[in-house]
């Protein structure tokens, strides 16, 4: 018997390994990337006087290593998945904040001295939280390299539309407010918003949950349930999933 049907909405580079992991656990998985990553061309980042690199996404790591082979700076990553991407890329000094940009800012304050030199934040064109402002208040100088753009999907795929129409989708995983907002918008444009009434929205953080609920009148949510991970980490989010056999949870 097939396990609960889960929809993964991360960009393709992140969705495929996650989908493979979930299938190995016994879930039925579909992928509907809400963002397409487009790499921006440009010169090699100048890290001459930079004391450390700050990564707020695995795509930042990918964008950085597309431009340069300089892996000789300490890395502070927003979460464990980003830290894993940095280690797999070849960085040897990597520490994870295991949280959000606020947790990353706290980690940097504990590990770095403002007088030791600027920090390089590798990011996309859209930012979740103002890391520069947070650390600037503590005297840090933050440089930013914008190495990719995350472009929202223009339409819902026929496959996902069919899952909603037939009521065979059990839960959707949301990792960012942008992807949650985009999904709700595309489902509404497809005339399928009412079909979310039997689907759970599983969200990485309260901000993601707020975006997933953002439909129609204030206080109206299109979902059967909106659940938030206890910690803003992938493993914590996956702990919200039902048992592959159809139980009530895996945490």
With cut-offs at 50, 70 and 90, classify the pLDDT of residue 248: very low
Is the per-residue pLDDT at 216 higher than 80?
no
Q: How far is CA 216 from CA 86, 89, 164, 213, in A?
A: 40, 43, 19, 9
What CA–CA distance (Å, rounded) separates 210 from 109?
Answer: 29
Average pLDDT rounded to a whole number, residues 3-21: 93
Q: What is the pLDDT of residue 243?
A: 85
Q: What is the percent of the chain where pLDDT is above 90? A: 80
Q: Which CATH class for the 5-34+153-238 domain? A: alpha beta
Q: Where are the domains of the chain?
A: 5-34+153-238, 37-151
pLDDT averaged over the chain? 92
Model pLDDT for residues 107-162, shown as the tens digit of each residue: 999 999 999 999 999 999 987 768 999 999 999 999 999 999 999 999 999 999 99
Reported as a pLDDT band with limits 50, 70 and 90, residue 3 is confident
Contacts (Cβ under 8 Å, ≥6 apart) of 163? 5, 7, 30, 169
How many residues make up the chain in this entry? Answer: 251
The 10s digit of each residue's pLDDT in 60-74 is 999 999 999 999 999
pLDDT tens per residue, range 147-195:
999 999 999 999 999 999 999 999 999 999 989 999 999 999 999 999 9
CATH class of the domain defined by 37-151: alpha beta
């Amino acid at each position: 018997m097939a396990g609960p049907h889960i929809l993964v909405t991360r960009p393709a580079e992140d969705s495929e390994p996650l989908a493979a992991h979930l299938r190995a656990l016994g879930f039925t998985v579909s992928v509907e990337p809400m963002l397409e990553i487009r790499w921006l061309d440009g010169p090699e980042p100048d890290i001459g006087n930079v004391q450390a690199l700050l990564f707020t996404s695995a795509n930042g790591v990918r964008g950085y290593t597309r431009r340069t082979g300089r892996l000789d700076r300490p890395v502070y990553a927003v979460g464990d998945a980003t830290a894993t991407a940095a280690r797999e890329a070849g960085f040897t000094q990597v520490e994870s904040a295991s949280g959000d940009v606020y947790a990353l800012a706290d980690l940097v304050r504990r590990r770095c001295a403002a007088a030791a030199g600027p920090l390089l934040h590798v990011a996309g064109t859209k930012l979740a939280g103002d890391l520069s402002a947070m650390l600037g208040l503590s005297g840090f100088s933050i440089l930013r390299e914008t190495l990719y753009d995350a472009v929202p999907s223009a339409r819902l795929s026929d496959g996902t539309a069919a899952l909603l129409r037939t009521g065979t989708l059990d839960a959707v995983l949301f990792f960012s407010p942008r992807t949650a907002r985009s999904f709700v918008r595309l489902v509404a444009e497809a005339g399928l918003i009412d079909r979310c009434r039997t689907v759970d929205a599983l969200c990485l953080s309260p901000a993601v949950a707020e975006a997933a609920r953002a439909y129609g009148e204030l206080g109206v949510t299109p979902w059967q349930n909106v659940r938030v991970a206890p910690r803003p980490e992938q493993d914590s989010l996956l702990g919200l999933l039902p048992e592959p056999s159809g139980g009530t949870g895996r945490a």
